[in-house]
A and B are shown apart, each in its own frame.
Chain A
């Protein structure tokens, strides 16, 4: 599509202005492929605003995605980006972070990618407190492959591989992250755009394993199959059902088809990152002989 057709329609008599998110996006790839009413675009919108407020040099930020609808975020962001194999976004990102520790590395992926096929990597990265920021857009289903049962699908929901309703207990993502040792855990929905932007900005400025879950509607598969209306209807439901409880015990934040959605910043604690622990340990063991790894190469 030529850029002429993407002109901005503004009030007459005012100077032309561009969308403030556009400098952070690859403009030639917009419009994106996400369905009308999908919440992933809203999360990206909040992320671009947070980037603008928290980061001065975009060359120092890298974004890594896995496979899936949310996995396409890396392709739309105007950052150093990496679209990895299915479920392996966190190992790729950990390697990137350890080779270039001065960079901020953000993993942006979906619930199926991070917790079904990549669940093991998530647990171990949180246990080691790898210095990564993991943003998980949870839409309760596998969107790109046709609405199969995901580990986050609530009990009672119908899916293409569970047509008579789901009887499995879903995974509570903040509880898992907290139990595995993440240093920052938060959950927001697509309705809470201001709070989400603030939390993303705060997490970008922190160290350690930071996990942010964002609930987003999937209108094409999850909502239509369960007769929950359109994307905007689900966001209205988020508005009615969500209760903000900062510091809530992550044992109590399970999600169901009805009942409260507990949102907020649950965990914020200081732990040494993996690289800090390694340097401290080997300095203790080898003393002067050990040169701590800070990522600056001598030939540069």
Chain B
């Protein structure tokens, strides 16, 4: 039992504006829990934008939103989202 990987529960999530992303990968590189990855899809300018690859790992620290040079992503703790604190999030479609 003790060797089982503990089941993590998402404490936060991210919101992305795909059309302003330029694919610089700052958020993906410096995410402390490495829960972000590039999307399979392109946006209109031809860049891959970030998506939550491991939503259960996200702690909502907001560091991705602080690094983003294009104001395209921000992270937030679930308990800080109005009227949705108790609902489990559904991850965005990963392309």
Q: Which residues of A contact B (CB under 8 A)?
A: 1, 5-15, 17, 19-22, 25, 30-32, 34-42, 44-46, 49, 191, 193-194, 197, 230-232, 235-236
Contacts and interface: CB of A to CB of B under 8 A. Distances in A.
- 6 closest A-B pairs by CB: A41-B69, A36-B22, A11-B89, A10-B15, A193-B66, A12-B90
Contacts of B44: 5
Contacts of A31: 19-20, 22, 70
Contact of B74 (A19, A37, A39): A19
Given A19-B17, A19-B74, A36-B22, A13 B89 contact: yes
Nearest to B47: A36
A14 B25 CA distance: 25
A15 B83 contact: yes
Given A15-B81, A15-B84, A36-B22, A45 B92 contact: no
B35 interface: no
B90 to A, nearest CB: 4
B26 A232 contact: yes
B84 A45 contact: no
A36 B27 CA distance: 13
B24 A8 contact: no
B74 A20 contact: yes
A34 to B, nearest CB: 7
Contact of A9 (B15, B63, B81): B15
B67 to A, nearest CB: 6
Contacts of B15: 8-10, 17, 19
Contacts of B59: none
Contacts of A36: 22-24, 47
Nearest to B69: A41
Given A8-B17, A15-B84, A36-B24, 8 more contacts: A11-B90, A11-B92, A13-B84, A17-B74, A19-B71, A37-B22, A46-B66, A49-B66
A236 B28 CA distance: 12
B4 interface: no
Interface of B: 13-20, 22-26, 29-30, 44, 47, 52, 55, 63, 65-72, 74, 76, 81-84, 87, 89-92
Contacts of B71: 19, 21-22, 25, 30, 41, 45
B24 A232 contact: yes
A15 B76 CA distance: 12
B22 to A, nearest CB: 4
A73 to B, nearest CB: 12
Contacts of B68: 41-42, 45
B10 to A, nearest CB: 9
Contacts of A236: 29
A197 B66 contact: yes
B17 A7 contact: yes
Nearest to B52: A11
A94 to B, nearest CB: 30
9 contacts: A5-B44, A9-B92, A19-B74, A20-B74, A21-B74, A34-B69, A193-B66, A193-B67, A232-B24
Contacts of A5: 19, 44
B66 A6 contact: no
Contact of B24 (A7, A193, A231): A231
